Amino acid sequence: MARRQGWTDEQINDLPNFEQRTDFTEKEKAALRLAERVTREFTAQLLATRLSEHGRLLTRLGCRVSSVPTPGAPAFTELFNAVRLVPNWSAIEPAESTYDWTHFDAVVEWATRNALTVSLGPLIDLTHGPFPDWLYQADGDLPSVAAYVCDFAETVVHRYRDRVRTWQAFAGFNHADALGLAEDDRLRLAARVLESVRQADPEAELVIALAQPWGDYLTSEDRTYSPIVFADTLMRAGFAFAAIELELLLGPGRRAGAGRDLLDTFRVLDLFGVLGVPLEIGLGISRSSGGTQSIAAMAELATALPHVRGVYWEAWDDGPVARVPDCTLRMKEGELSRDLLAFREQFLS
């Protein structure tokens, strides 16, 4: 939804709770209600059409984890048919060239044993990290940063390529200013990481993740590349992607974007469809931001669209995975878990 003149960032971020706001006019609330109703009806009709033509859908419904999920009710494998394994670089390589795989080996073994559709990554998250302390000795030096980053990416791929086919190579490169890298340097680094993964596993499915897909950061930061231009530039350089993940994250912190209604969510998913690459959606919302029902509706909308192949919740447990605070699924046990379980049982194979 377009920004109304005079709306603050806090008001935009609170769009999921617009009915409770006293600073929206009744006309504005009516417009938001209408957008919500139209998009929900569109979602329901599209889901019904796809089910009648193809039966239960093959869409991946997953969650990001960096450790073996603690038991919950319902269990992880009841809720999800897929999982994204997120390596913690600072824990795996606490000292340069000294590796400890014990913890992450257990995560990979758990995922493969439970017959989940497994993807691994992001290998490098330039906004979120977490980076080992020793990496900062290369701060601002692109050749040195690239050498360290690509070495870690190649090492992970070599170790798990017999069990993992899909690699999310990186996330946040279109948005971050971490490690002292300018925008063009981040684009060059992205290309280096992609090439490293492709060399380590020539048969790899490559996925990249884009932060703030509406380009929120362009309004307040010195950036040139919008999210779609960033992805298109890499594709024009010859990189082929199995999917592009769009992060729909709501809450405090630089990684999260502004709140959007369902109609605006459809518009951005439709926009990225012009790239001709399947999409994956990363969903996460801080509990303090509310909007659980909107997030569940976003999951349904994404799954209804044929060019969206996967929807991933931000985090199962507390830990280094979550990029917005207080968004773990275990902290939202109850309504959202029940919605996801019912959705999987009704629509997904």
Angle formed by the axes of helices 227-236 and 183-200, nearest 10°: 50
Supply the pLDDT for residue 262: 87
Q: Where are the chain's structural domains? A: 24-347
What is the token pair recorded at 156? 């992970």
The C-alpha atoms of residue 58 and residue 66 are separated, in whole angstroms, by: 24
Supply the pLDDT for residue 162: 96
Provide the 8-state DSSP code for 204. Answer: P
Please give the radius of gyration of the chain, using alpha carbons only, rounded to the nearest integer: 20
* Nearest by Cα to 257 from 190, 172, 185: 172
Scanning the chain, the segments in alpha helix (DSSP H) are 9-13, 26-54, 76-79, 89-92, 102-113, 142-160, 183-200, 227-236, 262-272, 292-304, 335-347
Q: Please answer whether residues 66 and 85 qualify as being in contact, where contact means their C-beta atoms are separated by less than 8 angstroms.
A: yes
The C-alpha atoms of residue 294 and residue 339 are separated, in whole angstroms, by: 11
Angle formed by the axes of helices 292-304 and 262-272, nearest 10°: 30
**CATH 3.20.20.80 is held by the domain 24-347:** yes
Amino acid symbol at 220: S
What is the token pair recorded at 33? 């209600």
**From the first residue on, what is the mean pLDDT of each consecutive set of 10 residues in the chain (349 residues)?**
42 51 73 86 93 91 92 81 96 96 97 95 90 92 96 98 97 88 94 98 97 90 89 97 95 81 92 97 79 72 95 85 78 65 85
Supply the pLDDT for residue 259: 76
pLDDT tens digit sequence for 111-122: 999 989 999 999
Q: Which residues contact 40 (CB under 8 A, 6 or more apart)?
A: 262, 297
What is the token pair recorded at 207? 């996925």
What is the token pair recorded at 314? 């931000």
Q: How far is CA 154 from CA 51, 165, 193, in A?
A: 40, 14, 9
